[in-house]
């Protein structure tokens, strides 16, 4: 009962939201298709139905799984709803630390109710460790499929396929980078503070106008813009592009090729084994100059 007394106003607001959506006719599983709604929204809408038994059998474990998939793809509503389930033990074992960590993720994206919840419960210092397994880096993705030697998240793959033509980049190269960088985890954060699907450090995110590195589309757009720049700078040499993505273009120019860093050498090998192409078309106009590696090579001939 203490939860009800403490969070009564939030409960009422949350239920009001669900009732409004349910009666709007927007959550019928039969009426939703990928062509009419964002796939992340579909996951959240389906989760709501299973959570409340609306037009489908009540299945809160399935609801939690669907919310978790949406949360992994950067949905603030999915993160908040999953946090609510952990706060109340609905379909999952109650865990206030996990709930607060999920509320924290949603709050960063401006979710109003999540921000209010954080005023009622403390955010754990080790919040990254408190997240559910499906949100942790390199966790398996049940909805994924195998492509070559690695697992592909179909929702992310569809997003990449949609955006890639705008940057004139082969989706296969982008998916290879995402798989190596984050394992398709939109919330991944490295020890160097590289963030999201394509692991953009804050400087790179700012350079390519990424506002929210944990938003799947925003992150992918930034990563593609960077790849497009690198492809032009290194004239489509995939190995050099991969090396620069990992170690920076300055390191590649310094060593006039793939830097002899064990991490970078291993990284390049992974990208090449997953992409299987050594060159990629490029757009010369996106850079003011190309790498002097090619100027030096031409002069030596």
Give catalytic residues, as residue numbers. Answer: 181
Tell the burial category of 127 from Cβ atoms under 10 Å away from its Cβ (0-12, 13-18, 19+). middle
Cα-based distances in Å from 158 to 35, 173, 230, 258, 268: 12, 14, 23, 31, 25
The span from the CA of 190 to the CA of 65, in Å, is 25
**Closest of 222, 221, 264, 208 to residue 239, by C-alpha:** 264
Contact 23, 52 (CB under 8 A): no
The span from the CA of 87 to the CA of 112, in Å, is 17
Which residues lie across from 279 on neighbouring strands?
237
CA atoms within 13 A of residue 116's CA, in its CB half-sphere: 12
Check residue 151 and report its DSSP letter: E
In angstroms, the first-to-last Cα distance of the chain is 81
CA atoms within 13 A of residue 204's CA, in its CB half-sphere: 28
The span from the CA of 119 to the CA of 104, in Å, is 11
The 3-state secondary structure of 85-120 reads: HHHHCCCCCCCHHHHHHHHHHHHHCCCHHHHHHHCC
């Amino acid at each position: 009962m203490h939860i009800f007394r403490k969070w009564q106003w939030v409960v009422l607001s949350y239920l009001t939201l669900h009732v409004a959506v349910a009666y709007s006719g927007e959550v019928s599983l039969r009426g939703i298709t990928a062509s009419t709604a964002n796939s992340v929204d579909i996951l959240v809408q389906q989760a709501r139905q299973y959570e409340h038994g609306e037009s489908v059998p009540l299945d809160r474990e399935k609801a939690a799984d669907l919310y978790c998939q949406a949360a992994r793809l950067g949905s603030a509503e999915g993160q908040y709803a999953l946090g609510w389930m952990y706060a109340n033990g609905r379909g999952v074992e109650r865990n206030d630390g996990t709930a607060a960590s999920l509320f924290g993720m949603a709050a960063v994206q401006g979710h109003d109710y999540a921000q209010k919840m954080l005023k009622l419960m403390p955010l754990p210092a080790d919040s990254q460790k408190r997240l559910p397994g499906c949100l942790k880096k390199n966790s398996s993705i049940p909805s994924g499929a195998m492509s070559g030697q690695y697992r592909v998240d179909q929702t992310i793959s569809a997003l990449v396929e949609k955006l890639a033509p705008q940057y004139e980049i082969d989706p296969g190269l982008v998916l290879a980078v995402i798989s190596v960088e984050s394992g398709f985890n939109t919330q991944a954060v490295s020890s160097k503070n590289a963030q999201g699907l394509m692991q953009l450090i804050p400087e790179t995110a700012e350079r390519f106008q990424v506002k929210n590195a944990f938003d799947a589309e925003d992150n992918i757009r930034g990563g593609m813009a960077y790849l497009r720049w690198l492809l032009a700078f290194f004239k489509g040499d995939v190995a050099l592009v991969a090396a620069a993505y990992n170690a920076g273009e300055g390191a590649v120019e310094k060593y006039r090729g793939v830097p002899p860093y064990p991490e970078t050498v291993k990284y390049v090998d992974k990208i090449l084994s997953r992409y299987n192409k050594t060159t990629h078309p490029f757009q010369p106009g996106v850079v003011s100059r190309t790498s002097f590696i090619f100027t030096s090579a031409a002069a030596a001939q």
